[in-house]
Amino acid sequence: MREPRFWYPEKRNSASLAAHLLTPAGYLYGLAGRIRRRSKKPERAAVPIICVGNITAGGAGKTPVAIAIASHLISKGEQVHFLTRGYGGREVGPIRVDPRHHGAEDVGDEPLLLAQLAPTWVAANRPEGAAAAVRGGARLIVMDDGFQNPSLIKDFSILVVDAASGIGNGRLIPAGPLRERLDDALARANAIVITGRGHAADGIAARARARAVPVFNSIIRPPSSIKLEPGPYVAFAGIGRPEKFFRTLRDIGIEVADEISFPDHHVFSDRDARALLVRARELGAHLITTEKDAARLAHAATASPRARLAEAVVTLPVHALIADMDRLMVLLVDAVARARHGRN
């Protein structure tokens, strides 16, 4: 779905008529979530669980942050597996992601990216997914998303917030982008990671620090080794906030001839593919997109417009660089050690 524009007003702390009218529905949404979290008795997995989630409906950069954290833990010798819901995929799981055979229509786009680093499990039922990961050799599980899911006990929870958009108008879905009240989320968070540039999350950082929740800053950018042919490029993206991708391209000096946005987790049709190929040909431009979007183009039928688009498009990978990562790792390693001690 596309985020309604009124979720992120130009003037902070302002709200449109639509937001006001939908606020009662947002109150009911929040109440239902609180009842669900309080009434559900969470299960404890056999291995420590680190959760990387967000408080808004998409676009905060949690998957790159989850990958960065898992990468550092793996470098310390941890046997890390990922656990995720697999939004947009048809598999209920538990199932281990195999990028050679699974496409985004099977398991979603994010699990395909996670599986490039470590074994990745998709499961609608998180306790069952955790148990499957343990049977598969996991000694530590990193959950991508699931911050609001009450079915598993998390040993360390990281809340990812976008610096440029923050929590928008501060209202709950559908009146705003919030999945739950900020104070409720901060009460369960062990750390906050603010991604990108901007000041929309400054208030969140201040409230977190007042609760003694450590705050870390992160930038999400392409690796320095990436080399792209000179432009122009037609850039397209179906992610939570496509403008972040377009801004990244401009920041690294890419000539962007056109920017085309699609809804988050958009499933590209042959019609979409033909339109993008035609637009690039009209402008004499290359095509470029995100890793998540490229994952949704994989396994397209041979010779179809989607397959031709997948062959023609350039993919821009991005990495999360977390400032003071050593301090965050100390917190994580300590939490993992305490969790293991408590399970013995």
Q: Are 126 and 149 in contact (CB under 8 A)?
A: yes
Q: Is the domain of 106 the same as that of 64?
A: yes
Domain with 267 in it: what CATH number? 3.40.50
Q: Is residue 15 part of a domain?
A: no
Please report, as a single letter, which amino acid is at residue 146.
Answer: G
Q: Is the domain of 331 the same as that of 305?
A: no
Residue 143, CB half-sphere, CA atoms under 13 Å: how many?
32
Where does residue 331 rank: exposed (0-12), middle (13-18), buried (19+ CB within 10 A)? middle
**E strands, 150-269, where?**
156-162, 191-195, 215-221, 233-237, 256-261
- Closest C-alpha among 167, 159, 152, 149 to residue 186: 159
Q: For the chain, how far is it from start to end, CA to CA, in angstroms?
A: 44
Q: Is residue 332 part of a domain?
A: yes
Q: In angstroms, rounded to a whole number, what is the distance separating the alpha carbons of residues 154 and 190?
A: 10
Nearest 5°: the CA angle 23, 25, 30 is 90
Q: In angstroms, rounded to a whole number, what is the distance separating the alpha carbons of residues 25 and 13?
A: 19
Domain with 176 in it: what CATH number? 3.40.50.300
Q: Is the domain of 58 the same as that of 148?
A: yes
Q: Is the domain of 139 the same as that of 249?
A: no
Helix, strand, coil percentages for the chain (3-state, nearest 5): 40, 20, 40
Q: Is residue 53 part of a domain?
A: yes
Q: Is the domain of 214 the same as that of 144?
A: yes
Q: Is residue 309 part of a domain?
A: yes
Q: In angstroms, rounded to a whole number, what is the distance separating the alpha carbons of residues 7 and 133?
A: 37
Q: Is the domain of 239 the same as that of 300?
A: yes
Q: What is the DSSP letter of 87?
A: T
Q: What is the DSSP letter of 178?
A: B
Q: In what order do the strands lie in the sheet with 256-261?
A: 256-261, 233-237, 286-290, 314-316
Q: Is the domain of 283 the same as that of 326?
A: no
Q: Tokens 């019609």 label which residue?
A: 271
Q: Are strands 95-96 and 120-122 parallel, antiparallel or unpaired?
A: antiparallel
How much is the pLDDT for 13?
63
Measuring CA to CA, how many Å separate 241 from each of 143, 209, 215, 245, 282? 22, 27, 23, 8, 26
How much is the pLDDT for 291?
92
Query: What's the average pLDDT block by block, 10 residues per block, for the chain (344 residues)?
Result: 80 77 93 89 95 89 94 95 90 91 88 95 96 97 94 96 91 94 95 92 94 94 84 90 89 92 89 95 95 86 87 92 94 95 81
Q: Is the domain of 131 the same as that of 264?
A: no
> Which residues partner with 142 through β-bridges?
50, 82
Residues in the chain: 344
Q: Are 288 and 254 in contact (CB under 8 A)?
A: yes
Q: Is the domain of 147 the same as that of 79?
A: yes
Q: Is the domain of 287 the same as that of 260?
A: yes
How distant is the alpha carbon of residue 2 from its chain centre? 15
Q: How many domains does the chain divide into?
A: 2
Dump pLDDT digits (tens) for 290-339.
999 998 888 777 788 989 999 999 999 999 999 999 999 999 999 999 99
Q: Tokens 């990281």 label which residue?
A: 158
Q: Which domain holds residue 268?
A: 233-317
How distant is the alpha carbon of residue 167 from its chain centre? 15
Q: What is the pTM assigned to this prediction?
A: 0.90
Q: Is the domain of 99 the same as that of 169?
A: yes
Q: What is the DSSP letter of 172?
A: B
Token digits of residue 164: 């440029």
Q: Is the domain of 148 the same as that of 269?
A: no
Q: Is residue 19 part of a domain?
A: no
